[in-house]
Amino acid sequence: MHLHKYEKIWLIFGIMALIIFLSVVGVSAFHQGHTPSGGHMKIDPDKVSETAPFDQPGVYEKEDGTYEVVMVGKAFGYDPGAVQVPAGKEILFTVTSSDVVHSFSVVGTNVNMMVVPGEINHKKHTFQEPGTYLVICNEYCGSGHHFMSTEIEVVE
């Protein structure tokens, strides 16, 4: 069988296009398997209670005198239910969710972050004034959303 000159050209063009297409798909698949999408830390939302630091939520004093509050949001509350931190010290809030999207919003401060299953979010804050601060969920998360809250007690 004798191929017409133009048919040969189109056949070669078609094969080359296929090779380019497959390379691009292959490269993208490789990238997805080896680099996390976005800059957030990832966590398996089904294994929050087994994954550090969320296996032990609570308040931790660090060597440099700052504090870390590790908290898990879930329908419809936060774990731990209430925390106590000192005034005038830098607090790093580290949060994730074990179910749906919530938020961790400390009333009267600029701490207002999303609590997302599969992601670890951070926010630093220093409470200058002692007192009781209300934490609320600003993301609609279901029937108990309006009751989802906790308190941070800031002491001298």
Which residues are at the interface with ligand CUA (CB under 6 A)? 76, 102, 137, 139-141, 145, 148
How near is the Cβ of 141 to ligand CUA at its closest, in Å? 3
Give min distance, CB of 114 to ligand CUA, in A.
11
Task: Quote the least distance from Cβ 22 to ligand CUA, whole Å.
Answer: 45
> In angstroms, what is the minimal distance from the CB of 59 to ligand CUA?
21
Q: How far is CA 64 from CA 41, 89, 91, 111, 134, in A?
A: 23, 10, 12, 22, 27
Nearer to ligand CUA, 90 or 119 (CB): 119
- The set of residues, in sequence order, having a beta carbon less than 8 Å from that of 44 and lying 6+ positions away, is 51, 118
85 versus 148: smaller Cβ distance to ligand CUA: 148
Give 87 or 136: the residue with its C-beta nearer to ligand CUA: 136
Nearer to ligand CUA, 32 or 49 (CB): 49
